[in-house]
Structure 1
Amino acid sequence: MLVVGSLLLFAVVVLAASALLTWRLGRTIEKENPPVGRLIDTGPARIHLVDLKPEAPAPTDVPSAGAPPAVLLLHGANVQHTDMRVALGDRLARRLRVLLPDRPGQGWSGEGGPEVSDPGHQVALIRTAVETVGAGPLIVVGHSLGGLIALRYALDEPGAVKGLVLINPTTHPRPGGLPWFQRVAEVLFVGPLIWTVLLPATLPMMDRLVTRLFRPEPPRRDYAARTALALALTPRRFRNSMTEYSDLRDHLVAVAPRYPDVTVPTVVVVAEADPIVPAALHGEVLAKVLPHGRLVRIPAAGHMAHHRHAEVIAAEIERLAGLPPA
């Protein structure tokens, strides 16, 4: 009995020490990566939005067409707006206005309530932020889970969207559901582990995590530092990511039948070697049901194709925005 009590006391001490370390690491990471854009009150939450404007208006291919549409870049899961800014945002902002929000629950954006994983909820908050800064119409670009949010944006706000560019988008439920070990992991990581051991255990493995994100292509050596990847691993943000994952299947089942209602021109960019969001289960299926969809394949590319093949994707975005080739 004494041994059991000692082991329990030891476990409590270890967890308490880990929780304190997690809190201190989280505060340090947040201090090193403060918000750099506007914190816009949308009612339920504040949305962090970076607004990049070109120095001079870009010419368009269509005379008298006026200013080209702004580009809204929506990041995927377990990251924040910096992922899209480093990959595409700064490059596109030479010629176009670029809006980069932290999706609700990520970066410096608030959740707006327990329904943070609901794509429609996210669209409503982001739309309010975009309207606040007076931007529109939009070319909406989404990567991975951000591709699902982009699709919902076009479905929920059709008058505000001129076109879509979807990069390795998450669009359809996995046949057969999630494997059992992934369901167990989601339960664990939404629970006590997320507030104690996850952050200190994960930070030393950052290079390995980045390599897995980029596989089979080589990772960008500066990726974690330039995108503040550690910020996404802090407890509140990681918890929200796990909630997105656990609720994702239900949202995909609900929205997939609506994809034929997306009537705007849509470019679906698929990386043929993406092991995280396989094209055959997602982007290729989507492109077949879109009335104005066009499939662009990138051979041998992985999930982070927007970093490794940025020029190809940026050219598609600029073409959709009506700009002549650079």
Structure 2
Amino acid sequence: MLGLYVLGGAVAAWGLSHLRATQRTRAAEAAFPPEGRFVEVDGTRVHYVTRGKGPDVVLIHGMSGNLRDMTFSLMDRLAQDYRVTAFDRPGMGYTDSLHEGGETLVEQATLLMKASRALGLAQPVVMGQSYGGSVALAWAVEFPETLSALVLVASPSHPWDGGMSWLYRINSHRVLGPMAIPFEAAWVPKGYIKKAIAGVFNPQDMPPGYDAHIGADLTIRPGALRANALHRAGLLDQISAQAQRYSALAMPIELIHGNADDTVPLHIHSEPLATKRPNAHLTVLEGIGHMPHHAREGAVVEAVHRAHRRAVRS
């Protein structure tokens, strides 16, 4: 009898969590609706924002985020000189997931490349930050003729030692993830979310107004939590395979990395890539952490300028 009570309580708690998670999802989407438009690629809706005129630049956001990370400030700065398009990666923001298994780097790159072509973007400079840079690298490896240059900002590019956090392990698990995610989506405190966002900027402070702009509540929707965890779970194996193909990268590559980045360490990622590829130019930012496109926005803008100039000359 006690077992039945426990089971009934668990079922009730799970149902209540589902209801609250649904309510929080609706509230998040009402507070942070799509900023841009949609383009359909092979039946998948891709959310994008385009601003400015000139040569094309594509921006790809990192893990746990959406294109609002790029529209906070960087996009408008670049739009003074370029036609800039930022995409939500699949499963994040308002871009549809491709499937329930977690999109690979190549699948994400393929989708964004096709979306760019559908929008008429002509061999853009492709800039990715953090995980978005890994997607940009996959784009360059798989479809080198469709872009003119790469700008990689604090981006994973090489294999590393170490595992995932317990939260990613749970949320990406085939059984535990679908069970745990509704509880997380329902009950994670807003204060915890804000603290987690601020922590990504260490050792810098989060820019004023960033948390109000980014739409962090969008990232705790159940679908986004699951997609984000699956993307992280597959990253190391995919990077390990991808790194074997960097010798074919012939386009201009600009690397921007802070030497205080303890999320994606400089010595594991950007330094080896710069050493291996003579066409890669590395800018090391002293004392800067994982978010150079906010902490040193001007340096990232200059990297895009250099990438474009090098592509024109080549």
TM over 0.5: yes
Output one character per residue of 1:106-145: Cα deviation in whole Å (capped at 9) or x when no partner.
1110112245421111122111211111111211100001
Alignment of 1:13-24 (within 5 A): 13-24=12-23
Structure 1 runs, 4 residues or longer, greater than 4 Å off: 176-182
Aligned partner (choices 266, 270, 273) of residue 260 of structure 2: 273
Distance 1:146 1:78 in 2: 11
Kindly indicate whether residue 79 of structure 2 is the aligned counterpart of residue 80 of structure 1.
no
Q: Which of 179, 182, 190 pairs up with 1:195?
A: 182
| Aligned AA (1:168) | A
| Counterpart code for 1:33 | F
Deviation at 1:206, TM superposition (A): 2.2
Residue pair 1:19, 1:197 contacting (<8 A) in 2 also: no
Q: Secondary structure at the match of 1:270?
A: strand
Equivalent of residue 111 in structure 2, options 125, 149, 156? 125
CA distance in 2, matches of 1:50, 1:292: 30
Q: Which secondary structure does the structure 1 equivalent of 2:278 belong to? A: coil
Which of 57, 77, 88 in structure 2 is aligned with 1:71? Answer: 57
Corresponding position of 2:9? 10
**Paired letter, 1:238:** L
User: What value does the CA root-mean-square deviation take over the aligned residues?
Assistant: 2.0
In 2: Cα distance, 1:35 partner to 1:16 partner: 29
Query: 123, 128, 133: which one pairs with 1:147?
Result: 133
Kindly state the Cα deviation for residue 272 of structure 1 after the two structures are TM-superposed.
Answer: 0.6
TM-score after normalising by structure 2: 0.92
When structure 1 is superposed on structure 2, of 205-214 and 173-182 the one drifting more is: 173-182
- Equivalent of residue 148 in structure 2, options 141, 153, 162: 162
Show the counterpart of 1:25: 24
What is the match of residue 222 of structure 1? Answer: 209
Instruction: Tell me the SS of whatever aligns to 2:309.
Output: coil
Equivalent position to 1:307, from 294, 299, 302:
294
Deviation digits for residues 7-48 of structure 1, max 9, x if unmatched?
332232222212111110101111222222221110141111
TM-score by length of 1: 0.88
Instruction: Tell me which residue corresponds to 2:245.
Output: 258
List runs of 5+ in structure 2 lacking aligned partners: none
What percent identity do the matched residue pairs reach?
A: 28
- Gaps of at least 5 residues in structure 1 are 58-68
Aligned to 2:120: 134
**Aligned residue-pair number:** 309
Distance 2:294 2:43 in 1: 33
Report Cα offsets for 1:29-70 as digits up to 9, x if no partner.
Answer: 11222222221110141111111123xx5xxxxxxxxxxx31
Residue type of the alignment partner of 1:82: R
Q: Paired residue for 1:171?
A: 157
